[in-house]
Amino acid sequence: MKSITKSSAKAKLIHFRDTLRYSLHCIVSPFDGFWDLTHEHRGSASAATFIVIMTILTNIWKMRYTSFVFIRVQWEYFNIVLNICSFLLPFFVWVLSNWCLTTLFDGKGTMKDIYIGSAYALTPYVLIQLPMIFASNFITYEEGAFYNYFLSFSIIWCAFLFLASVMQIHDFSFGKAIFSILCILVGMLVIVFIMVLFFSLISEAVAYFISLYKEIAFRFY
Amino acid sequence: MKKIIRSLIPVCCLMLFSALLIQPATASAEEDLFYTYTYDYWGIERESPDAYAMNSVVLGDDFGIGNFNAPEGMFVKDNQLYICDTLNNRIIQFSYANDEFSLVKVVTEVNNNGKPEPILQPYDVFVTDDDEWYIADYGNQRIVYTDNSQNVIGTIYKPEDEETLNADYMFLPKKLVVDSAKRIFVQAENINKGFMEFEDGGEFVGYIGAADVQFDFIKYIYKLISTQEQRDQMEAFVPTEYNNIALDSEGFIYATLSKFESDNASSSKPIRRLNAKGTDILIRNGYYEQIGDVQIGNGGGYNGSSKFADVTVLDNDCYYCLDQTRGRVFGYDFQGNMLYAFGGIGYKQGCFKYPVAIESLGDSLLILDKELGIVTQMTLTEYGTLINKALDTYKIGEYDTSADYWRDVLKLNGNYDLAYIGIGRSLLRQDRFEEAMEYFKLKLDYKNYSKAYKLYRKDRIEDNVKYVFIIFVALLVIVFIKNTVKKIRREVNEE
B261-285 pLDDT per residue, tens: 777 777 778 899 998 888 889 999 8
The per-residue pLDDT for B476 is 94
Non-local CB neighbours of A173 within 8 Å, separated by 6+ positions? A167
* Contact between A72 and B449 using a beta-carbon 8 Å cutoff: no
Sheet holding B271-274, edge to edge: B242-247, B253-257, B271-274
Asked if residues A180 and A105 have their Cβ atoms less than 8 Å apart, the reply is yes
The per-residue pLDDT for B33 is 56
Whole-number mean pLDDT of chain A? Answer: 92
Asked if residues B281 and B269 have their Cβ atoms less than 8 Å apart, the reply is no
Distance from CA of B42 to the nearest CA of A (A): 8
User: pTM to 2 decimals?
Assistant: 0.80
Best of B446, B454, B459 to substitute, by most chain A Cβ atoms within 10 angstroms, is: B446
Q: Over range B183-196, report the average pLDDT.
A: 88
Asked if residues A188 and A94 have their Cβ atoms less than 8 Å apart, the reply is yes
**Residue B26 above 50 pLDDT?**
no
Asked if residues B94 and B374 have their Cβ atoms less than 8 Å apart, the reply is no
The per-residue pLDDT for B21 is 52
**Residue A206 above 70 pLDDT?**
yes
Cα separation, B393 vs B396, in Å, equals: 5
Distance from CA of A82 to the nearest CA of B (A): 20
Cα separation, A124 vs A116, in Å, equals: 15
Non-local CB neighbours of A125 within 8 Å, separated by 6+ positions? A55, A58, A154, A155, A157, A158
Which 126-155 residues of chain A touch chain B by CB within 8 A? Answer: 138, 140-142
Percent of all residues in chain A with a pLDDT value above 70, rounded to a whole number: 98
pLDDT in tens, B197-207: 998 888 888 88
Q: Which of A149, A153, A92 is nearest to A124 (CA)?
A: A153
Asked if residues B55 and B363 have their Cβ atoms less than 8 Å apart, the reply is no
Q: If you measure CA to CA, which chain B residue comes closest to A72?
A: B444
Question: Treating both helix axes as pointing N-terminal to C-terminal, what angle do A45-65 and A123-135 enclose, rounded to 10 degrees?
Answer: 30
pLDDT in tens, B346-393: 888 888 999 999 999 988 999 999 999 999 999 999 999 999 999 999
Confidence of residue B30 (pLDDT cuts 50, 70, 90): very low
The per-residue pLDDT for A34 is 92
**Residue B425 above 50 pLDDT?**
yes
**Residue A144 above 60 pLDDT?**
yes
The per-residue pLDDT for A178 is 94
**Residue B79 above 50 pLDDT?**
yes
* Contact between A141 and B446 using a beta-carbon 8 Å cutoff: yes
Confidence of residue B229 (pLDDT cuts 50, 70, 90): confident
Q: Over range A141-149, report the average pLDDT.
A: 92
pLDDT in tens, B231-244: 777 666 666 688 89
Asked if residues A101 and A180 have their Cβ atoms less than 8 Å apart, the reply is yes
| Phi, psi for residue B314 in degrees, rounded to 5 | -85, 170
Confidence of residue B28 (pLDDT cuts 50, 70, 90): very low
Whole-number mean pLDDT of chain B? Answer: 86
Please state which of the ranges A190-194, B220-224, B395-399, B424-428 shows the lowest mean pLDDT: B220-224
* Contact between A69 and B450 using a beta-carbon 8 Å cutoff: yes
**Residue B413 above 60 pLDDT?**
yes
**Residue B87 above 60 pLDDT?**
yes
Single-letter code of the amino acid located at A46: S
Of B42, B454, B457, nearest to A74 by CB-CB distance is B42
Cα separation, A95 vs A102, in Å, equals: 10
Single-letter code of the amino acid located at B473: V
Classify each residue of A142-160 as buried b or exposed e, where b means 16 or more C-beta atoms within 10 Å of its C-beta. Answer: eebeebeebbeebeebbee
The larger pLDDT score, comparing residue B214 to residue A215, is at: A215
The per-residue pLDDT for B52 is 92
Cα separation, B56 vs B375, in Å, equals: 8
Query: What are chain B's domains?
Result: 33-380 (2.120.10.30), 400-495 (1.25.40)
Q: State the maximum Cα–Cα separation within chain A, in Å, rounded to a whole number.
A: 72
The per-residue pLDDT for B226 is 80
